[in-house]
Amino acid sequence: MTPMEMLEAVRDGRLSPEEAERMLRTKPFVDLGFAKVDTHRAIRSGSPEVIYGAGKTPEQSVKIAGTLLDNGAGCAMITRCSPGTWELVHSTFDDAVYHEKANIIVIGRPPEPSPNSSVCVVTAGTSDIPVAEEAAVTAETLGSRVDRIYDGGVAGIHRLLANMEPLSRARAVVAVAGMEGALPSVVGGLVNVPVIAVPTSVGYGASFEGVAALLAMMNSCSSDVSVVNIDNGFGAGYIASMIDRRTAPL
Amino acid sequence: MTPMEMLEAVRDGRLSPEEAERMLRTKPFVDLGFAKVDTHRAIRSGSPEVIYGAGKTPEQSVKIAGTLLDNGAGCAMITRCSPGTWELVHSTFDDAVYHEKANIIVIGRPPEPSPNSSVCVVTAGTSDIPVAEEAAVTAETLGSRVDRIYDGGVAGIHRLLANMEPLSRARAVVAVAGMEGALPSVVGGLVNVPVIAVPTSVGYGASFEGVAALLAMMNSCSSDVSVVNIDNGFGAGYIASMIDRRTAPL
Amino acid sequence: MTPMEMLEAVRDGRLSPEEAERMLRTKPFVDLGFAKVDTHRAIRSGSPEVIYGAGKTPEQSVKIAGTLLDNGAGCAMITRCSPGTWELVHSTFDDAVYHEKANIIVIGRPPEPSPNSSVCVVTAGTSDIPVAEEAAVTAETLGSRVDRIYDGGVAGIHRLLANMEPLSRARAVVAVAGMEGALPSVVGGLVNVPVIAVPTSVGYGASFEGVAALLAMMNSCSSDVSVVNIDNGFGAGYIASMIDRRTAPL
Amino acid sequence: MTPMEMLEAVRDGRLSPEEAERMLRTKPFVDLGFAKVDTHRAIRSGSPEVIYGAGKTPEQSVKIAGTLLDNGAGCAMITRCSPGTWELVHSTFDDAVYHEKANIIVIGRPPEPSPNSSVCVVTAGTSDIPVAEEAAVTAETLGSRVDRIYDGGVAGIHRLLANMEPLSRARAVVAVAGMEGALPSVVGGLVNVPVIAVPTSVGYGASFEGVAALLAMMNSCSSDVSVVNIDNGFGAGYIASMIDRRTAPL
Amino acid sequence: MTPMEMLEAVRDGRLSPEEAERMLRTKPFVDLGFAKVDTHRAIRSGSPEVIYGAGKTPEQSVKIAGTLLDNGAGCAMITRCSPGTWELVHSTFDDAVYHEKANIIVIGRPPEPSPNSSVCVVTAGTSDIPVAEEAAVTAETLGSRVDRIYDGGVAGIHRLLANMEPLSRARAVVAVAGMEGALPSVVGGLVNVPVIAVPTSVGYGASFEGVAALLAMMNSCSSDVSVVNIDNGFGAGYIASMIDRRTAPL
Amino acid sequence: MTPMEMLEAVRDGRLSPEEAERMLRTKPFVDLGFAKVDTHRAIRSGSPEVIYGAGKTPEQSVKIAGTLLDNGAGCAMITRCSPGTWELVHSTFDDAVYHEKANIIVIGRPPEPSPNSSVCVVTAGTSDIPVAEEAAVTAETLGSRVDRIYDGGVAGIHRLLANMEPLSRARAVVAVAGMEGALPSVVGGLVNVPVIAVPTSVGYGASFEGVAALLAMMNSCSSDVSVVNIDNGFGAGYIASMIDRRTAPL
Amino acid sequence: MTPMEMLEAVRDGRLSPEEAERMLRTKPFVDLGFAKVDTHRAIRSGSPEVIYGAGKTPEQSVKIAGTLLDNGAGCAMITRCSPGTWELVHSTFDDAVYHEKANIIVIGRPPEPSPNSSVCVVTAGTSDIPVAEEAAVTAETLGSRVDRIYDGGVAGIHRLLANMEPLSRARAVVAVAGMEGALPSVVGGLVNVPVIAVPTSVGYGASFEGVAALLAMMNSCSSDVSVVNIDNGFGAGYIASMIDRRTAPL
Amino acid sequence: MTPMEMLEAVRDGRLSPEEAERMLRTKPFVDLGFAKVDTHRAIRSGSPEVIYGAGKTPEQSVKIAGTLLDNGAGCAMITRCSPGTWELVHSTFDDAVYHEKANIIVIGRPPEPSPNSSVCVVTAGTSDIPVAEEAAVTAETLGSRVDRIYDGGVAGIHRLLANMEPLSRARAVVAVAGMEGALPSVVGGLVNVPVIAVPTSVGYGASFEGVAALLAMMNSCSSDVSVVNIDNGFGAGYIASMIDRRTAPL
């Protein structure tokens, strides 16, 4: 119900102003005390709902997941699960799956990807894989098909050039790199779709836990690169899938 | 010609290996000495080509533009024009337009936007307008239709809420803000499309010429926000238009 | 006794200069060796006295608390209690209470809040609650009534708009946020009273343990926002209560 | 008109939903294109309205001022006036005053201070005076009486101790300091009211244009100190006056 | 033997050039493989020798101490002893003392202070005491008499003013403070001797482990303040004692 | 096979285009899933191959080493071995050696150094030795002879001057220092060959885990100094050996 | 008159309490409005008084100088004179001298140095000379004899070793360096007196306007080095002279 | 004359100790007051001598150049010439050449490059050319042959791959890049010789005047990359030429 629809309902007597005001106040979310769970979004978007598990107890994550599923969400995912979350989820919900490398729990059945769906997740090195998996599983859970190219760093550019096929098919690319963070610039020059760059905290010394990679990516000479927070595989997968699922054949 | 096609042509005798190697070496760009102009991209993508004018003399910018147009580009744009560029462009090309607030020159005719094309460019304050215009004119030149909401900062949230219509219609949003950089988070919570956040150097003291806004945007609690460099209106407009032009009706 | 009163007493022979000098030297505090406890302030202000427990052993905190209560303080609070402090306080003082989420111990009876007293403590997310509780319990112990709005972050602005009533009643607001730290700017635009912003170390990557939020808050476009140190819930609660308790009806 | 009042008016037929929606959209501000001027606030608060002049042309500042005054504001002030603003204001409005040291223009008559009103503005050095004047004139324009103690830095603590009278009378203190920024801590220990600390960009080398002072103030060991942005005299004066005007006699 | 003396000895045939060259190479230190111990300095200066224990095994520290004492040093001190060092020292040397709060071991008998020797070590808070003790024990071991004023922070300036006597007697002052680091500026204004400022890592949030205090001290408005590294109590005590021991009565 | 050779082979029918394309895609590396191992480089360069062990499980490191040795590498080294790697390597390969101080495992027989080979590794202090050993063992494994000068810091410049012989013989110098990082500047002024500077994280407080040393080295007034990452002994040893092995007698 | 003396005078009726209080308030300084000039210090210390000229108009500097000289100071110096100051001073005072390289004006006759007075000012390069001259002229004006060693940087260590004589004679050393800031560590190892290190803003790129040098100096491995602010030649000269003038023959 | 030779000469009576000591003191440089010119190096190395012109007056640069040439240097170069230097050099020396893009003056005839000499200087973009020219002209003046590849940035990797020939011939590579600084990593993976990386201040916003590029280069995943200061083309050219000239055929 949009504000205009609500106002018309009030005018027509179908809705009292008191109810309208209460709706504005109480409907969009369920207040669990420690969290205000946005249940309208679940109904409205039809997409799987996301719970950021870091800093939440297993009980809190499970309670929010239950609230979402009870209010119409068909699927919920918990990212960055704190220890013990999988055990509690597993014993509470029947249809949950734990993606260990990504540290993501999915409860319920994610949507099927469309035929031409294609997100490509590339990493510079082996140590970037956990962040890349967070991106890949997120995109898959949201309804995208995902190709993975791991350890394709720019110091051996032939490793990347040998994997042009999934890159050129992708509708959105997630490029994950720590250390000097050069991968998104090179990838951005090879493809013609949005590249979501994820700096990782992989490195030591003057990598400053991902700052060097972050700055490199912010300054990318490729016009199609935008950046998310250090180690934020989830955000990159979320945006890449959002783009992928809406892309029309050119 | 793809590498596979080229190799087949070599096998079939239609192309000598020497020619093939020369093609690999010389064709993809024209070397002007001070710049290697990527003429293949112009032909391949059909999109207007972009010249980053900062740090280039008017002569250099004009020479690159001419090379692009001579090699098949239908339209070229020069961003961040250095002083004197417009004068030289104006006297060299007939069909050039100068977008002053955006400091962008467009030579030739940009493509028409598709019927449902919609990019929304929002700013927090009045001083963010030049960066926003860079984004807006870029997106328009690349073939998008653009709505502008200026001075919609979060300290007067009603100014933003009163402009929900263009926001909810947009297929991609560019959110431009200096100082505390809070706008993309709020906008990201209101829409359901990718938000490209542009920190600006507007502010003083602890804004550190845009760093405060950049950090805020990197840490946005809205999942659909990715970030480009400080004052990089061009990049944001480029990505937003790329998404806009490929978006299918849901 | 003000300096002027003391000088008059010396002139009138009621106080010898030696005593006056000794008073200046020894009276304002009790020197425990590791700490100089300000006992005059306790008597003078009538307010509960505060002991910053971090970096103090339980024995030191208890010794200072005892000195304050012995010198006329009606109530003492220990913030950021180091481990073991509650056990020792509990076995030493009869009338102590431990506020666990805030990690604050209150010994003695705090003053009653005045009828219209109203401080509102808002957080952006669930993880900000410990800092918010430090602010809330501090303000309550100093004599304010406190409303709590938790998880009201700006990416779901309706969660905040649905809680306007306690916000508009407040005489001072404490806004607690990590990550992008946008909450105080939005709150500052909704209310017309001083907003004390508390950045928290909640976040990861480019949040730099609260620096991103701190910078955002320093650059707030709302004129009524001032900022305290990262995670300094105590300071914010102290100032908010100081303002609250002195506010006259407009 | 509150949302509840508006909804009741719609129910009672006194207001059509279309009008109500239009009000939500159009009333709270006048859209000048480059700025959305908040005219409701002017009417609602009765306070002088503030225009942040930096980065605005004289024409823009004057146009916003005119819009505010036309919509019921009794007094408007322009801070950080860009060059030429005073000339244009002076020739446009009869009753304007230019406070040169503060670089603030006041148009119309500010409210009279109440009898016990008292804000004290202290600076560490001579070079901090322009920022201090911005604070002082802001507070005066908003209706406070202001005492000034300039060059009271902590390296000659007797200069501060010799000025205890205005300090002890103040209901809110603004402490302005560059370099090591120690003043607010010392002042905060001497008074029992909120201290708004303003770091200034005065200094050289490792002062980093005010960062050293800012950090010092953020870490103040005085509980009653909160901080605004570097050189933000306006914000400090605004908050100090807000506290001053609402303070009841204890 | 100075270079000139050595060259004369070569000329006079008392020293062969080969021996002279070997002396240049081998004499000034004993090479233990992991360390080159400067034994000439021990003989030359007559002062206790210092071993920086951090990052050295107890065996390494003891071996260096033995080498120094064997080569004529009358007294050796080990600072920042790594765990187990005291046990090994205690069982190796008869005349060793462990200063626990300072974490310094002294082997042998330090020189007696001269009659007017006077170093004053002041701290802002209780948590600064370990760093202050490192300074105090260092100065004492090098032959100075030391007064300690602890918890004299600037938010309660009367605590400092009540201890003027040892301050005004001192020939050099060590001022130790974390958080806002304001103490040296205030102390520097009260005395007329060199003040060695030691920032400590005491604090949280925007103290950045002592950086805030360091910057404040670098920008001190008192002309007599110079600064050593964060938590470098040893360096401050070393320099203060060096000044103290050479000071003539004015 | 160079690209030109491959194209000629295709023309002459000795190689089908399909095979050529497959070669381009598959030959240069073996894809282990978690890593793409560059086997061509092993064959091509004849040098020992390097595995960066940090962030790899012992199994991963061993698998990569096996792949390299199976594909023609005569010698492989693993740097920054994670715990348990030596045990697994030791039980898998017969001819492995563990250099404990350098935390480097060498499998197979490194090449013999040439007669005049000479790399000199200098450290400022005792704590810099582990990084220096990483450099030294790397250079030795790659085929250089290495001299070590440890604890030659600039505060006792005679310790360095007494070791001029190995310095003046070196064809490349690795200078390793933490804290103020002054060593490379002094060494660079004493020798006439490239100096590779390695900042170490040795130090405390304002050393910022090697940043102070890194900055000092970046600003060296000696023209022959270039810098690698903090604690990157491997990189310095790699480059120094690369220079050493190619140096002709002048 | 000490506080104790004043209190005794009050007791004995020689001083009324009102007068005593007024003395406390008014005597120690003359309030010029823009500055509170500390005239007691002038009388008390007998030393030349210092006016920090940066950010002061020539009129302000001259007015303060006049106030000092009128109140008993025999000599006054103005550092960092703003443009036009020398002209105004020259036409106002008869006995003024302008030290151009140091940008210091001295009015009146500085004290004669004692026979053994010796401060040594060393610079790393030619560009550091202005800062060094500020230190040297300051020390000379305060009554010290000064030796200058300029361009003695550590990349040509023999240039420093060839000037050991003035270094070994000095009672305090000022070491001035930009870029890598290594000079104080080397000098500190050569002498046995306090070394005051002054980082300069000389350099480019990663020197960050003196930060690299500042950090290097803070981390000096020489125990006798303390540091003042970037380019703060005055402070270093002040402290060095303070030490020099009090040093007794050993 | 080595120290050993000098000592032998003293023993044999060919040199008096006084003369030997004077030689140690006075010979290695000529003291011009503002600079100590190292004339021995000129004689010893046979290489062109370098004068860093920044911060020197034309007169100072010319005076140093004259001193070098008078003391046996066959060729001198002045880098970063301050304005007016070329005019003065031109009118003073007959055989001077000004390399304008590099801002380097060469006086006298540089040595001829050896037959296989080969340094390759690569830039990422057009704006990096001035820094690249500083490197190239430096290397040429020191006796190397130089290939230039300009505008070969990684976002169009084919531009680099099309220039493999000069890269693969080079004995040392200088890789110059601003913005994200990715070029050295890609180049380092393509060649098998030392790569000297030069970050440039080209870029805007979060490039922080070259810091982003500097950090990227410090963290390069290519083992053969070392880094010099931002914009330090001279240093890179110096080191690259030093390596080039000593490289033996493999």
Tens digit of each residue's pLDDT (9 = 90 or more) over C101-154: 999 999 999 999 999 999 999 999 999 999 999 999 999 999 999 999 999 888
State how beta strands H225-227 and H195-199 pair: parallel
Nearest CA in chain D to C196: D226
Q: What is the mean pLDDT of residues C36-46?
A: 63
Element (H, E) at E65: helix E58-70
Interface check for E215 against chain G (CB to CB < 8 A): the answer is no
Listed in sequence order, the residues at least 6 apart from F19 whose beta carbon sits closer than 8 Å to its beta carbon are none
Instruction: Tell me, rounded to whole angstroms, the distance of Cα E240 from its chain centroid.
Output: 8
No. of H helices and E strands in chain G?
A: 11, 11
Maximal C-alpha separation, chain C: 70
Q: What is the mean pLDDT of residues A39-59?
A: 77
Interface check for A38 against chain C (CB to CB < 8 A): the answer is yes
Residue the block writes with tokens 């300690």 = E148
- Specify the pLDDT at position D160: 85
Instruction: Identify which has the larger pLDDT, E167 or H31.
Output: E167
Give dist(CA H70, CA A15) in Å, integer.
Answer: 100
ipTM: 0.89
Q: Of F235, F225, F234, F181, which Cα lies nearest the Cα of F203? A: F181
pLDDT tens string B179-204:
999 999 999 999 999 999 999 999 99
CA angle E86/E89/E93 to nearest 5° reads 140
Candidate from E162-171, F18-27, F30-39, F123-132 with smallest mean pLDDT = F18-27
Q: Do chains B and A touch (3 or more CB pairs under 8 A)?
A: yes
Residue the block writes with tokens 């204890």 = D250
Of H4, H10, H13, the CB nearest to E7: H10
Q: What is the mean pLDDT of residues G6-29?
A: 69
Which amino acid, one-letter code, is at A184?
A: P
At G175 the three-state DSSP class reads strand
Nearest CA in chain H to F161: H3
State how beta strands F225-227 and G119-123 pair: unpaired
Give dist(CA C89, CA C99) in Å, integer.
Answer: 13
Q: What percent of chain E has pLDDT over 70?
A: 90
- Asked whether the beta carbons of residue B248 and residue A246 sit closer than 8 angstroms, the reply is yes
Average pLDDT score over chain A: 89
Q: What is the mean pLDDT of residues B83-106?
A: 97
- Asked whether the beta carbons of residue D219 and residue E211 sit closer than 8 angstroms, the reply is no
Give dist(CA B241, CA G212) in Å, integer.
Answer: 43
Give dist(CA F134, CA F120) in Å, integer.
Answer: 13
Residue A43 has pLDDT above 50, yes or no: no
The tokens describing D83, both together, are 């060059």
Give dist(CA F132, CA F113) in Å, integer.
Answer: 19
Residue C158 has pLDDT above 60, yes or no: yes
Taking contacts as CB-CB distances below 8 angstroms, the residues of chain A near D7 are 10, 17, 20-21
Mutation site, A161, A191, A219, A229, interface H, largest H CB count within 10 A: A219
Taking contacts as CB-CB distances below 8 angstroms, the residues of chain D near C226 are 196, 226-228, 235-236, 239
At B220 the three-state DSSP class reads coil
- Looking at residue D100, the DSSP 8-state letter turns out to be T
Give dist(CA H12, CA A103) in Å, integer.
Answer: 80
Helix axes H211-218, H183-190, angle to 10 degrees: 30
DSSP E strands, chain C: 30-31, 36-37, 49-52, 75-79, 96-99, 104-108, 119-123, 146-149, 172-177, 195-199, 225-227
At H121 the three-state DSSP class reads strand
In angstroms, the Cα distances linking C43 to C214, D54, G65 are 35, 48, 46
- Specify the pLDDT at position F43: 47
Candidate from C211-220, F35-44, F159-168 with smallest mean pLDDT = F35-44
Q: Of D235, D245, D240, D239, which Cα lies nearest the Cα of D134? A: D235
Q: What is the mean pLDDT of residues G173-179?
A: 97
Torsional sign, CA B187, B188, B194, B198: positive
Residue the block writes with tokens 């233990």 = E32
- Residues of chain D falling short of pLDDT 50: 26-27, 42-43
Interface check for G3 against chain D (CB to CB < 8 A): the answer is no
pLDDT tens string G224-234:
999 999 999 99
Are A9 and D21 within 8 A, CB to CB?
no
Give dist(CA E241, CA E113) in Å, integer.
Answer: 10
pLDDT tens string H103-129:
999 999 999 999 999 999 999 999 999
**Distance in Å, alpha carbon of C54 to nearest chain B alpha carbon:** 29
- Specify the pLDDT at position F173: 98
In this prediction the pTM is 0.91
Q: Give the Cβ contact number of residue C9 at 10 Å.
A: 17
pLDDT tens string F80-99:
999 999 999 999 999 999 99
Candidate from A27-31, B222-226, H164-168 with smallest mean pLDDT = A27-31
Candidate from A67-71, A181-185, B101-105, G39-43 with smallest mean pLDDT = G39-43
- Asked whether the beta carbons of residue H218 and residue F196 sit closer than 8 angstroms, the reply is no
Chain D segment 122-181 residues within 8 A of E by beta carbon are: 124-125, 153-157, 179-181
Residue F210 has pLDDT above 90, yes or no: yes
Residue A41 has pLDDT above 90, yes or no: no
- Specify the pLDDT at position D249: 63
Element (H, E) at B49: strand B49-52
Helix axes G17-26, C3-11, angle to 10 degrees: 140
Chains C–E, number of C-beta pairs less than 8 Å apart: 54
Q: What percent of chain G has pLDDT over 90?
A: 68
pLDDT tens string A220-240:
999 999 999 999 999 999 999
Taking contacts as CB-CB distances below 8 angstroms, the residues of chain B near F20 are 7
Taking contacts as CB-CB distances below 8 angstroms, the residues of chain D near B176 are none
Strand order in the sheet with H75-79: H49-52, H75-79, H104-108, H96-99
Range of C14-28, E158-172, G137-151 with top mean pLDDT = G137-151
Residue G203 has pLDDT above 60, yes or no: yes
Point out which residues pair with E147 in neighbouring strands. E120
Backbone torsions φ then ψ of B140, nearest 5 degrees: -65, -40
Instruction: Identify which has the larger pLDDT, A115 or B98.
Output: B98
The tokens describing H222, both together, are 């290519």
- Specify the pLDDT at position B45: 57
Give dist(CA H55, CA G203) in Å, integer.
Answer: 9
Instruction: Tell me, rounded to whole angstroms, the distance of Cα H25 from its chain centroid.
Output: 29
Candidate from B149-153, E230-234, G132-136 with smallest mean pLDDT = B149-153
Q: Of D86, D109, D85, which Cα lies nearest the Cα of D98? A: D86
- Specify the pLDDT at position F156: 83
